[in-house]
């Protein structure tokens, strides 16, 4: 059977990035191309102009097709923004009235489903769920995996990432109107973690900070599981807006100056360093220090917000693998050092695993590449890429075994 082509589609406030990779039947993955366009019709995860967003997605995917000469078999799209939330939900279900029974995967699915229902409000939809632990017979003892154990009651503590139904449907419609059909929506921070954190780091305890244009996501991992999530309504766009406002220049120019000349602090910036900026048919000098003075308060505000969330986290003491930062703002000169000095924790810049991308590009494209790797891993883990018949037969045998334990 031929190789499979998977696409990751990251739809953000400032840019839309798409990547495509191939995977063969041996599981070898090859990144083929990345394409990006300036984002239009969406802000902080909220669709503001359906037609404009659809056209931008269509343009991005068309350019990706020209660059790669490939049409993807499956598309995995990211979802992010201030409309997302998270919460814990608990549930307990009876397994049998008398005696005990062996817990099956069907029982685990049932208790997870019950917790999922109890944790949702009207007009909400679960994007991801993460079992934190299970309990048996209400004895208070926590169990990581209850499969195969004897019990007459099964409980779960489920951590949910949730989105507003109308916002999710708006995003899906914009993608569909662009001529694309997606396999699954994935939370952007989770996708980024898939290619920037090692499994050992997630087990020992780590924090991923994904700084987008419109929002900042703080993900906490411990024991190999996502334990907590904070979404801050501040990101790289706040820095750009302050430069544009203070220097009275267009937003697009302010973005270029931020990327090329801004710094997290004015401490090491010479006061007489000038940058020539073209206006109409002539050039105007702008002091680099003025650019840095514009962003410094916003950087401090962002770091203050991050520090507050991390200091108040019950898992801070478990950050044995430190903090990893990703997103375009993480490349801001001096930002990593400022964050590390304020958090009193080791901080490193994200590097994409098993990728030939330059280190300066990894944080920028972590989400889109994470999306396609998430999709490839999902296929490979359930055997649906190349062995659909075998996978189906295996599921049938497992179901027969579950029914046996259910009734005998």
Q: What is the mean pLDDT of the chain?
A: 89
Whether residues 377 and 240 fall in one domain? no
Count: domains in the chain: 3
306 found inside a domain:
yes
Does any domain span residue 405?
no
**What does the alpha-carbon distance between residue 323 and residue 347 come to, in Å, rounded to a whole number?**
5
Residues 60 and 180 in one domain: yes
- Residue-wise pLDDT for 51-90, tens only, equals 999 999 999 999 999 999 999 999 999 999 989 999 999 9
Identify the domain containing residue 359 by its residue range. Answer: 4-82+166-208+354-382
96 shares its domain with 183: no
CATH number at residue 189: 3.30.420.40
> Going residue by residue through the chain (408 aa), what tens digit of pLDDT does each one get?
468 899 999 999 999 999 999 888 777 888 899 999 999 999 999 999 999 999 999 999 999 999 999 999 999 999 999 899 999 999 999 987 667 789 999 999 999 999 999 999 989 999 999 999 999 988 778 999 999 999 989 999 999 999 999 999 999 999 999 999 999 999 999 999 999 999 999 999 999 999 999 999 999 999 999 999 999 999 999 999 999 999 999 999 999 999 999 999 998 787 778 888 876 667 788 999 999 999 999 999 999 999 999 999 999 999 999 999 999 999 999 999 999 999 999 999 999 886 666 666 889 999 999 999 998 888 777 655 444 444 444 444 454 444 444 444
Say yes or no: 245 and 345 in one domain. yes
- In 3D space, the residue among 185, 41, 54, 61 whose CA is nearest the CA of residue 127 turns out to be 185
240 and 294 share one domain: yes
pLDDT tens, residue by residue, 30-46: 889 999 999 999 999 99
127 in a structural domain: yes
* pLDDT tens digits for range 147-187: 999 998 999 999 999 999 999 999 999 999 999 999 999 99
Residue 112 lies in a domain: yes
Residue 157: count of CB within 10 angstroms of its CB: 16
End-to-end CA, the chain: 42
Is residue 226 domain-resident? Answer: no
Q: Are residues 16 and 54 in the same domain?
A: yes
Report d(CA 202, CA 238) in Å as an integer.
30
CA distance 283 to 149: 74
Looking up residue 119, the CATH number of its domain turns out to be 3.30.1490.110
Residue 109 located in a structural domain: yes
Same domain as 179, residue 153: no
Backbone angles phi, psi at 394, to 5 degrees: -65, -40
- Fill in the DSSP letter of residue 120: P
Secondary structure (DSSP) of 206-243:
EEEEEE-SS-EEEEEEETTEEEEEEEES--HHHHHHHH
- The answer on 304 and 320 residing in a single domain is yes
Residues 405 and 149: their CA atoms lie apart, in Å, by 11
Beta strands at 182-187 and 153-164: parallel, antiparallel or unpaired: unpaired
Domain match, 160 and 304 both: no
Confirm whether 213 is domain-assigned. Answer: no
Clarify whether residues 150 and 178 are in a common domain: no
Q: Same structural domain for residues 248 and 369?
A: no
Task: Tell me if 403 is assigned to some domain.
Answer: no
Q: 288 and 140, same structural domain?
A: no
């Amino acid at each position: 059977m031929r190789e499979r082509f998977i696409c990751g589609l990251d739809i953000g406030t400032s840019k839309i990035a798409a990547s495509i990779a191939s995977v063969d039947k041996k599981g070898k993955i090859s990144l083929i191309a990345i394409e990006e366009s300036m984002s239009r019709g969406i802000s902080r995860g909220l669709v503001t102009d359906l037609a404009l967003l659809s056209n931008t997605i269509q343009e991005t995917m068309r350019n990706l097709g020209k660059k790669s000469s490939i049409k993807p078999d499956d598309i995995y799209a990211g979802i992010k923004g201030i409309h997302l939330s998270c919460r814990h939900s608990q549930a307990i279900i009876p397994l049998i009235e008398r005696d005990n029974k062996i817990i099956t995967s069907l029982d685990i699915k049932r208790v997870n489903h019950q917790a999922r229902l109890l944790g949702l409000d009207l007009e909400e939809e679960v994007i991801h769920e993460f079992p934190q632990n299970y309990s048996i017979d209400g004895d208070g003892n926590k169990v990581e995996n209850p499969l195969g154990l004897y019990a007459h009651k099964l409980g779960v503590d489920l951590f949910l990432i949730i989105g507003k139904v109308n916002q999710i449907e708006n995003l899906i419609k914009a993608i569909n109107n662009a001529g694309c059909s997606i396999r699954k929506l994935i939370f952007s921070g989770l996708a980024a973690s898939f290619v920037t954190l090692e499994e050992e780091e997630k087990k020992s305890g780590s924090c991923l900070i994904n700084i987008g244009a419109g929002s900042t996501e703080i993900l906490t991992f411990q024991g190999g599981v996502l334990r907590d999530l904070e979404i801050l309504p501040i990101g790289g766009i706040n820095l750009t807006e302050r430069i544009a406002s203070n220097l009275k220049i267009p937003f697009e120019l302010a973005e270029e100056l931020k990327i090329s000349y801004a710094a997290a602090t004015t401490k090491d910036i010479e006061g007489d360093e000038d940058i020539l900026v073209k206006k109409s048919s002539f050039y105007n000098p702008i002091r680099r220090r003025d650019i840095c003075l514009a962003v410094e308060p916003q950087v401090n505000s962002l770091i203050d917000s991050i520090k507050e969330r991390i200091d108040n986290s019950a898992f801070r003491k478990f950050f044995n693998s430190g903090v990893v930062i990703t997103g375009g703002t993480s490349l801001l000169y001096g930002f990593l050092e400022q964050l590390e000095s304020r958090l009193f924790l080791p901080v490193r810049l994200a590097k994409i695993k098993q990728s030939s991308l330059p280190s300066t590009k990894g944080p920028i494209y972590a989400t889109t590449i994470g999306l396609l790797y998430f999709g490839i891993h999902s296929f490979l883990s359930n055997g649906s890429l190349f062995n659909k018949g075998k996978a189906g037969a295996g599921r049938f045998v497992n179901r027969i075994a579950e029914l046996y334990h259910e009734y005998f």
